[in-house]
Chain A
């Protein structure tokens, strides 16, 4: 470029550019954007004026629908751009960095601020700020200080702090973490283990992925502290193979932590030895259940066993073992650094601290939010999420993944905490939240979850193996228009039996989606069974395609595309669908350029 030579060398000081390269950012082309920034800045000679690391990699900020997000921080001021692609880079460099004028039309909108400017952030604070592949970034923002503090006291005082903080396990059931640790620390054994459960199998939840991608060291620090508290010499991170970015960041982080002496022998000269290994999951949802997870680490089929004995007494290879979720572990360093009192002052009584929710589905702003426990569902869906797209009506919010339930729109003012959620027939689960509007069919939703769980059932105990299959088959019949009187009662009674008699958490909670949708949306089931219609228009077998003659422009496209030759059409005549021949494939609906088919 000839023009660059004539431009005087810009004097830019303290320039930092942060590009989001989490899973979402990478999909949107984050790597290319980052390369474009470094290449162009180098060509302009700007790099020489500033400190190294002018273009930083950051992890997931949880606002993936706006990717690629780019922060430009210069002379103390900072601006965040959204939807940046490679060809937008040049203009940002020219106008913002060289001329000092922010490119206003590309700045993030109020939705991003609704996500990001919440007052209390603990876990997500550093995600998207620090470079996850550089331990220096983490230590300079206070990282590994909690570990140092923990190691300066004795293990029992660490357990006490966690107990006092009121932290409850973020993986689902909400068991008090401090109590779990205490049980395990009281066990006499030469070898103990601590396991980080990163087998985030709940469809619709991705906070663990984001925390690991954005701040892997916080999880590692939490694990070392936990290992010290219970007296474990080795930790395992069990992570699902579907998260390749997270796995590679963890490997880098472990290597760096070992080099710095945070892992290995005699950590901080305390005489405490500890190391961590990564175990990649092999794609089985049930391995999120702790006893199945341990079986999987031992190299067996991931089948749960009955409790007691609890893992804290007899776990991995028969030794006392603690299993904590990613979110729980990465909270630990903050509690140790800031004290139990600080943590329990956030949230509500019995539900202290913050929780990360992933809000997805039919909602305007999708992504991750960290909010204090006890926040109302309305605040999450409307104030942060911005409501349903196209101003459609909210129907329900599904929480807790396949083990949870659907909360109807009428309960929108309920607080989000462990106890309130289970009292309405749902659960916290990992914090996945899928929003549904009036175009979502609740019977189809229940069928979807049961299809998932019956598929993922390990097959060890009968109620789960056979019972959930029967539930699924009956739901399938209903959605195909073959429902009969008595089906609802059958579903209810079988669901209860499965809940009571299943061996592990998967089976005990699998019928929840069925029970909660019948409880709140029984009329939809009845419409399917008795009236032969799907109110949301989702179930294909109950759908009827009709040509709106007044809108039809008689182009004949549907006639040509119809695979069943069910459409009659002649020039200058609107098309007509033969209901007898129609296979309800929906092809005509998709191809019609004038939306004349409904």
Chain B
């Protein structure tokens, strides 16, 4: 483990040492800092807090927010909630994956630029179907608009 990483972990540790029920909060901070939950970080915390690593992994795999694998720099979230489903979210999601050339079971593009995720509702049902790229919400998305939205987004986020 690099010194830099250890320093980052140290700040998280100090923040939560005295708080009850800190496993989820630690994982959330790791997720925020690294974009995923690095395995070695889990062992590091497990040693220092005397909590078995299995508890961390148990929690991390239970909640959909945590990822044990690295993700792309930008996250595309396609909503597949009821309202979005009824208004045609499935073809939109297909088109996104198709445009990014993602194979079956793949979520992240080869250049690590985008990761595509699904969510069961982000509470923006009046705008259905909804696609979120990082923090920007695109509303009433049609399958044929997907290409343009993604290209525009890529244009603004060149590395």
Contacts and interface: CB of A to CB of B under 8 A. Distances in A.
Nearest to A240: B123
A299 B20 contact: yes
B73 interface: no
A299 B27 CA distance: 10
A27 B21 contact: no
Contact of B63 (A242, A283, A317, A361): A283
Interface stretch (A195-203, A216-224, A264-272, A487-495): A195-203
B123 A23 contact: yes
Given A23-B124, A206-B125, A436 B63 contact: no
A27 B65 contact: no
A24 interface: yes
Interface residues of B, number: 42
Interface in B7-48: 20-25, 27-28
A302 B127 contact: no
Interface stretch (B77-85, B101-109, B149-157): B77-85
B50 interface: no
Interface in B47-98: 55, 58-59, 62-66, 81-87, 91
A452 interface: yes
Interface residues of A, number: 55
Contact of B28 (A209, A282, A366, A452): A282
Nearest to A236: B21
B102 to A, nearest CB: 16
A68 B143 CA distance: 24
Given A204-B81, A299-B23, A284 B63 contact: yes
A448 interface: yes
Given A298-B21, A362-B86, A209 B63 contact: no
Nearest to B62: A301
Most chain A CB within 10 A, of B27, B28, B123, B138, is at: B123
A538 to B, nearest CB: 10
B116 interface: no
Contacts of A244: 135
A65 B137 contact: no
Interface of A: 23-24, 26-28, 63-65, 200-206, 209, 241-244, 279-285, 296-302, 317, 358, 360-362, 366-367, 398, 401, 432, 434, 436, 440, 445, 448-449, 452, 456, 458, 586, 590
Interface of B: 20-25, 27-28, 55, 58-59, 62-66, 81-87, 91, 119-128, 130, 135-139, 143-144
Given A27-B127, A206-B123, A242-B123, 16 more contacts: A24-B124, A24-B126, A24-B127, A28-B139, A64-B124, A65-B126, A241-B65, A243-B122, A279-B24, A283-B64, A301-B58, A361-B128, A398-B82, A432-B82, A432-B125, A449-B82
11 contacts: A28-B139, A203-B82, A204-B121, A206-B123, A206-B124, A241-B65, A282-B28, A282-B66, A299-B23, A360-B125, A448-B82
